[in-house]
Amino acid sequence: MMRISLLALIMTAFAMPLYAQAADELPGEKIFNSRCKVCHNAMTNQRKIGPGLQEVFGRESESGIGMLTEERLHQWLENPKALKPKTRMPKYGPMQDPIKRQAVIDYLKTL
């Protein structure tokens, strides 16, 4: 009995920091880091391939697609060319999934 609870205690001690780390990162941040970061700075307004996205939510777009509202961001991320046929921002597979798209938009709101 004693051994089991000691083991449980040790396991909890090891599991805690891992859990805290996972909870810190928004699901949308993970997607952003793997799919968007190559072309966009998140923490500054400095351009990379595309505009810097600091405080992007609700601001006027640099791309000429209007105010970056929730609805506009959904349209843009789902299919950029539908809003701007000559844009250089590509369409991404994972952004066809409304749940993942929402997660990324929720992350953009925090920038």
Which positions lie near ligand HEC, rule CB under 6 A? 35-36, 38-40, 49-51, 53, 56, 61-63, 68, 73, 76-77, 84, 87-90, 92, 95, 104
- To ligand HEC, the closest distance from the beta carbon of 76 in angstroms equals 6
Residue 18's identity, in one-letter code, is L
Among 19, 22, 84, which residue's Cα sits nearest to residue 51? Answer: 84
Distance in Å, CB of 25 to ligand HEC, minimum = 16
In the chain the first and final C-alpha atoms are separated, in Å, by 49
14 or 77: CB nearest ligand HEC: 77
Q: Which is nearer to ligand HEC, 61 or 102 (CB)?
A: 61
Q: Residue 76 in contact with residue 65, Cβ under 8 Å?
A: yes
4's CB contacts (< 8 A; 6+ apart) are none
CB closer to ligand HEC out of 12 and 110:
110
